[in-house]
Amino acid sequence: MRRATAPLRWLRFTLLLASAWATLIPSQPAKAHAFLDHALPAVGSTVHALPGAVRLWFTEEIEPAFSSVRVQDSAGKEVDRGDSRVDAADPRVLTASLPSLAPGTYRVVWRVVSVDTHVTQGDFTFDVAR
């Protein structure tokens, strides 16, 4: 009867391997997904001198036709100049011009399609100080 435990052990070991593999998969991002690397204004930052544009750097090149960013005020109203575009000189950079903004909290909302056609999206805020 004890012989039956060998296949059981093997099964348990296989299941353990499978679950270990399953937990590993999310930590291995598909290579060409475009994730936000960094931004200006920086994520969660407080700026005193507002740059004339918001700039987002992604980990991969993005598709200009399907990638956009907008900036909203605390009421959700779009405040950028509506000219969201991929930087001609750097296909990993998404940018949109900003007018001068009153002090307050602003939300940057982005959605991009990387060159492998996968969609990623996200948002973050920054504060304009008095």
Provide the minimum distance between the beta carbon of 34 and Cu ion in the complex, in angstroms, as a whole number.
7
Sign of the torsion angle spanned by Cα atoms 17, 33, 90, 83? negative
Q: Which of 104, 116, 122, 129 binds Cu ion (CB under 5 A)?
A: 116
User: Which segments of 8-128 are extended strands (E)?
Assistant: 36-40, 46-47, 53-58, 68-72, 85-86, 93-97, 104-113, 119-128
Q: How far apart are CA 78 and CA 103, in angstroms?
A: 15
Q: What is the DSSP letter of 114?
A: B
Among positions 11, 17, 18, 32, the unique one binding Cu ion when judged by CB under 5 A: 32
Binding mask of the shown chain, residues 69 to 108, with x at each position contacting Cu ion by CB under 5 A: ----------------------------------------
Taking each continuous run of H as one helix and of E as one strand, the counts in the chain are: 1, 8
- The answer to whether residue 63 forms part of the interface with Cu ion (CB under 5 A) is no
By CB under 5 A, residue 115 contacts Cu ion: no
42 binds Cu ion (CB under 5 A): no
Of 32 and 42, which CB lies nearer to Cu ion in the complex structure?
Answer: 32
Site residues, Cu ion (CB under 5 A): 30, 32-33, 116, 118
